[in-house]
Structure 1
């Protein structure tokens, strides 16, 4: 069996087992080995530990996020709005694959695993630095309020809808109330741009 195939198989089975059991702490390396139809010794040819597998799963997911923007090329407000929509389209992706990966990231973050800091740094580089940069650009060219703190607003723009998504998709909120995600995204962008143009009143 080819090495790449086996590695991919181990990672997929690990993610599936965590989703099935509800917690990464509830599965053992033996469970993963059984799921791929091999011995633990075989599995350890590819990964040093369960933690090593989980870290690899998260890094694969993070590196596949479609959140890279040509910052300096976005010079029109309409282009900035389109980029914000793309960020929210990703944030509200409720596919099984994304739900499982976000759930895993939440779990490792609560345990303060080093990979959670790596994920945070990637978000900083991919999303927040882009939004901050364009807010500062907007103060010069799009009549954004100069009193707005671009660092705070960039993070609030991302984390407010992310927490909304987590409550709905991962914590069972959809079983209690339903929301039109397209309307949520539209409302969030309208409110965000209102803050940027009217100031934060502080």
Structure 2
């Protein structure tokens, strides 16, 4: 896991670096002041004094340059830290968006599965009801066919018995002339 940098931490590091540089400048100035404050006991060599001034000047320039470089370095470090934090923030945002998208996908999948299960149950229930109704229809058709057959049998029996009753119950009729002119016998 990457460490989290806080801007105040970066600022405090930059300020502590600045204070250290200022202390170095002050410590370097102190000997110069102490030598300047000392009474000149002996005459000094002008070449040595010139070299010393040049050395002090170069030391001051080096300190100023070091301070400038330290400030630039601190600024670059702060910029790097800011960019790292930005990158990490973007990563966190992307992770949150991914998590939200995954959660939304899961919820959509769950909703889809529930809807699919509901539709499957409804379809199964409807199929069972249709089979039940088809079976009931077949039963009614069978019963109706049986009733129709019974009624047709009853009708046939009634018609047959009616015809038979007409033939069997009627008294024989005797014709006065059972023969016709052509010699055909009439049977009734």
TM (norm. structure 1) is 0.22
Between structure 1 and structure 2, the one with the greater Rg is 2
TM (norm. structure 2) is 0.23
Which has the larger helix fraction? 2
